[in-house]
Structure 1
């Protein structure tokens, strides 16, 4: 069976689609093939066909903390945002990989469940949040994950415990082994609904005040080096406001790079490399990217 034959099974598969339509930076080259599975059965068929036909497979979620190079991605790109069911069972909330973390946090809050308040403003998907152990305002995904359901590259299904996920700062097991996150179950605690929502609304107001949400961006670009804060270093190095093409180090929050209009992924990457170079020269500190960078360069 060939990939496009799966359209007969009702799977949404498109060809030569600019991924800039889906990334939060509004940049990125085309996907050779792009699919939006609605459930695990459809995803399983896509994985099987790509494996049997040696087609490269790339799985992404909400593309909020992602830079896709201007040359795009060969093979099949799978976007999981249609797999977005969220259910509540007692003090547990289970969300499919394509569900937004924000929606999961608010579903928990409306059920008077506390623990995900920190995630109220994280725009990524649950799968992406688990993949990179997303965090904000002192909280991290690892603190609330009970189990994670995955599909391996060979099409096998597994369930990992929190301990088996090897969570650390912006890291998890699935970054190492290439498993596809299908869903995650979060263990929360009973709380006061109004109190939980108040905390979430406060954190979102803080986020709007501090972060350049008025422009497309990939969120926080760099991991925090131990003992240092990235934003102040960038400011002291005189790089805040620095612009290459349409990409600018934000004048509102120096840890963000925004698309001021017409930016390419190459603009983003050139600015990232410049910041890394200058920070290394001035402070002898290696800045590592938190944002995930994938795809081909335009001249490949």
Structure 2
């Protein structure tokens, strides 16, 4: 991939500050870890996203799509791809009655707050989730009994060939931490949601209650990527890890959180290698003690 030639091509229709070469990914992940991406693009419109995909396809340049990096671990050597960051620059939202149409780069926490202001219920669970709407749809994000699939009516997506499609919710194959967006490598552009009108104070009390639980039970003061492992059927990853006496266990700058064993936190200049080695150690210990193979929820990308 000729990244310099590609950069020049993208600069024909994107602002210079939205086309970054050899950009350290630690600046773009909640873990604050990661080597450089060959190119990092921050599109502002559907048309820009479509043109980026068309160019990547024509030039046979590998690419991947990310939100604000809240569920991403980039390896220390970085990524030899075009990273397309759909976040702050692509976050418009429109609310009409109980219907919300929002662009994929909108933060879930912002979306939840906007719903609250309109006395709309259904997104209370999302108030403290740090990811973008697009990422939340891709993995059917959920917490405290709520899931994205319960509020979505349809999604506008871009496929690998650069074609735009509208997918109704019953065609999106949304399950536990998965969806057609993820399995077919679609790009979420816009999401239509239908919420329920409720008393403002009832919604606000629920949001406050859930945020209090997060604040007291999760290590929000340290860089992390949220829950590292998927929930094993009939069990909880955090409890299994804690029962292996791994709470506080550390490799380099990566540590099993002392507040919530399902989190790995960056306690001091952790490398991606530190985190990956800690993940492997946890998996080995849990497998040995409980015969359960923990599967990662965090996405690991980049050169080994």
TM-score (ref. length: structure 1): 0.97
For 1:183 and 1:294, the matched residues in 2 are separated by 25
Q: Unpaired segments of 5 or more residues in structure 1? A: none
Alignment of 1:121 with 2:128, yes or no, is yes
* 1:198-213 to 2 correspondences below 5 Å: 198-213=205-220
Deviations 1:46-100 (A, max 9, x none): 1111111000111100110111111211121010111011110111111111100
Q: Tell me how far 1:216 sits from its aligned partner.
A: 0.2
Deviations 1:245-276 (A, max 9, x none): 10000001000000001101111111001000
Alignment of 1:288 with 2:295, yes or no, is yes
8 A Cα contact 2:125 2:210, kept in partner: yes
2:37 equivalent in structure 1: 31
8 A Cα contact 2:14 2:43, kept in partner: no
For 1:168 and 1:2, the matched residues in 2 are separated by 37
* 1:267-278 to 2 correspondences below 5 Å: 267-278=274-285
2:52 equivalent in structure 1: 46
For 1:188 and 1:201, the matched residues in 2 are separated by 19
CA RMSD of aligned residues (A): 1.1
Q: Give the secondary-structure state (helix, strand or coil) at the position aligned to 1:227.
A: coil
Q: Unpaired segments of 5 or more residues in structure 2? A: none
1:230 equivalent in structure 2: 237
Aligned residues: 297
Q: Tell me how far 1:8 sits from its aligned partner.
A: 2.6
Deviations 1:189-242 (A, max 9, x none): 111112212211221111001000110000001111111111121111111111
For 1:223 and 1:75, the matched residues in 2 are separated by 27
Q: 1:73 aligns with which of 67, 70, 79?
A: 79
Q: 2:258 aligns with which of 230, 234, 251?
A: 251
2:13 equivalent in structure 1: 9
Q: Give the secondary-structure state (helix, strand or coil) at the position aligned to 1:122.
A: coil
246-255 or 231-240: bigger deviation? 231-240
1:18 equivalent in structure 2: 24
TM-score (ref. length: structure 2): 0.95
* 1:168-179 to 2 correspondences below 5 Å: 168-179=175-186
8 A Cα contact 1:131 1:172, kept in partner: yes
8 A Cα contact 1:148 1:162, kept in partner: yes
1:138 equivalent in structure 2: 145
Q: 2:95 aligns with which of 88, 102, 105?
A: 88
For 2:95 and 2:265, the matched residues in 1 are separated by 36
For 1:130 and 1:29, the matched residues in 2 are separated by 27
